[in-house]
Structure 1
Amino acid sequence: MKNLVAVTIPIYKIQIDPIEQISLSQVIKKLGNYPIIFFAPNSLDTKNYEKFCEEKIPFVTERFNDEYFADIAGYNKLMLSKSFYKRFIDFKYILTYQLDAFVFKDELTYWCNKGYDYIGAPYLYVDLNTYPIKVLTKYRRLLDYLHSWNIPFYRYRHLGNGGLSLRNINSTLRLLTICNRSARSWTTLMEDNFFQYWGNVLFPIFKLPPEIEAARFSIELDPEKTFMAIGEELPFGCHAFMRYSPEFWKTHIEAEGYSIE
């Protein structure tokens, strides 16, 4: 029988900067009862991470070729490779937690039990005309047109950021097999765009949550407006909290006992 979920954390730097220390401290505090597995380049000296985790959680790491951590393109390639997900085949889900994410509460089992194949922060207020995958923009407009005529049809999901994301292992492996050629040639866009594109096109083979529900899982862009949209209740977590409206997030993060300069 498979374990339910593991928290997976990509690391590629020797030093852990102050913001990353906050992020790592919080995930250990809130999700330390789940398996936490770091994944890193073969050559990385992880002694600083080992020391940080000492007497808190076991330090467990999966190693991959250095090329996957050399730049964003390499990371995207790793996250669209079946070999990556096969490392975690003993789990039903993985939570991908980059060290610019922050988790507010332990709802991980709750979100796993929702049965979605991929969940990440939605893009509620992004101008579709600026979206890089033009065919997906046209697809959403077609769906909106059908709904305007009260024709029941699948409603497009505009999500979700991969920096704090929940992924079903078997469903992801199936998707990467079906879309093998696309995954191998997905070189100019972020890896999470792949799941948004094919998750919408191949519904119901690959299940994505509605956007508002995804916002209750994680917020990235437009945090103030998105926070209002979900009833001013903190989500499970957030991503890129020092990049998008850091002053907004500072209040909530400092309420957890941290100090952000």
Structure 2
Amino acid sequence: MRADPKLCVIIPAHKSRLTVEEAISLQACYNRLQHYHCYLLHGADGFSPEEYLDIHPQLKLKRVPANWLSSVQQYNRMKVNPSFYELFRDYQFMLTYELDAYIFSNDITAHHGFDYDYIGAPIFEGYQQAAPDAPFHGALNSGFSMRNVTACRVMLDKLQLYKAWWKKNKFLLVNFPFLRRVVNPNWRSVMDHDHLRGYLKGGYFNEDIIWSEVIPALFPSFKVAPPEAAALFSFEVNPERLYQLTGQLPLGCHAWTRFPAFWKNHIHEFIRTPS
């Protein structure tokens, strides 16, 4: 079967052995996405892909610098690294499929997968500890997410230009506080954003917050899905509430083993991880 060049699927691999739940996740990927190019990203010496290939024999192995996958923070940095997107410049869209994800359908179009520059599961205020009635945060999780490759490359180029502007204006605002009165409040709030500061200064940040919250605030041409549309694409926290909102399962979900009370009724291979 000839692969569709519109989309590449990115599966980060951090170790050679799969857990039972990871194997279930990869099997779902094979069942529903095998007609796309699916790349297994690995970096460490001694990585053995046999268990992955036994489940998904069409995986394309992609060696990346070992430090890109060496920690959670380095993985976040990889996802805002222009060199990473350069590897997949021949594709229009990129689906990040971490192996705590699960996909229910191959109809990406019906679930808004190709409608935005970035789409993932809605994030609620409180993040992983969000209350059932928490409001939407506005950002979108990237564990099971879609992004427009060209749009991301353009935004990263713009961010590099913005970095010099940010440094100069932060210096002025710190040393001449009265200038804060004449700076647009929306721009000032973005300049003070913790994740943007972490990205620009080499500190801590989450790449999904950069893509879904910071970049569209700086550059409104980058189209991020609103939470109601994103809920048709993916669930993570509060899956019961998102199911009530949409009346249907999404294209896929992330962190399904964290919410067994809901997913055991929809993922038939579900095996609860021992606590």
Q: TM-score, normalised by structure 1?
A: 0.79
Structure 2 counterpart of 1:15, one-letter code: R
Cα pair 2:14 2:42 within 8 Å, conserved: yes
- Structure 1 residue 237 and structure 2 residue 236: aligned? no
Structure 1 counterpart of 2:90, one-letter code: D
Quickly say closer, same or farther: Cα 1:77–1:44, change in 2 above 3 A.
farther
Instruction: Choose from 6, 9, 27 the match for 2:8.
Output: 6
Instruction: Choose from 28, 31, 34 the match for 2:33.
Output: 31
Quickly say closer, same or farther: Cα 1:248–1:45, change in 2 above 3 A.
same
Alignment length (residue pairs): 226
Structure 2 alignment gaps of length 5 or more? 131-135, 164-195
Which residue of the partner structure matches residue 17 of structure 2?
15
Cα pair 2:8 2:36 within 8 Å, conserved: yes
Percentage of pairs with the same residue? 31
Cα pair 1:77 1:187 within 8 Å, conserved: no
Structure 2 counterpart of 1:178, one-letter code: K
Instruction: Choose from 207, 228, 241 the match for 1:225.
Output: 241
- Output the CA distance in 1 between the equivalents of 2:12 and 2:46: 12
Match runs of 1:94-109 below 5 Å: 94-109=94-109
Instruction: Choose from 226, 234, 250 the match for 1:210.
Output: 226
Match runs of 1:39-54 below 5 Å: 39-53=41-55
Which residue of the partner structure matches residue 58 of structure 1?
58
Cα pair 1:215 1:235 within 8 Å, conserved: yes
- Structure 1 residue 190 and structure 2 residue 206: aligned? yes
- Output the CA distance in 2 between the equivalents of 1:127 and 1:51: 38
- Output the CA distance in 1 between the equivalents of 2:35 and 2:44: 27
Q: What is the RMSD computed on CA atoms of the aligned residues?
A: 2.3
- Output the CA distance in 2 between the equivalents of 1:19 and 1:184: 36
- Output the CA distance in 1 between the equivalents of 2:270 and 2:126: 34
Structure 2 counterpart of 1:92, one-letter code: Q
Shift of 1:190: 1.2
Quickly say closer, same or farther: Cα 1:13–1:127, change in 2 above 3 A.
closer
Local SS of the residue matching 1:208: coil
Q: Could you tell which deviates more after superposition, 68-77 or 234-243?
A: 68-77
Local SS of the residue matching 1:90: coil
Deviations 1:198-239 (A, max 9, x none): 2430353100111110010000111111111112x0000000
Q: TM-score, normalised by structure 2?
A: 0.75
Structure 2 counterpart of 1:159, one-letter code: A
Match runs of 1:68-87 below 5 Å: 68-87=68-87
Which residue of the partner structure matches residue 248 of structure 1?
262
Cα pair 1:20 1:100 within 8 Å, conserved: yes
Cα pair 1:16 1:48 within 8 Å, conserved: no
Q: Could you tell which deviates more after superposition, 168-177 or 185-194?
A: 185-194
Which residue of the partner structure matches residue 144 of structure 1?
none
Q: Could you tell which deviates more after superposition, 156-165 or 13-22?
A: 156-165
Quickly say closer, same or farther: Cα 1:239–1:259, change in 2 above 3 A.
closer
- Output the CA distance in 2 between the equivalents of 1:112 and 1:229: 18
Deviations 1:71-125 (A, max 9, x none): 11110111110000110001001100000000000122443442x10001112x4
- Output the CA distance in 2 between the equivalents of 1:205 and 1:217: 21
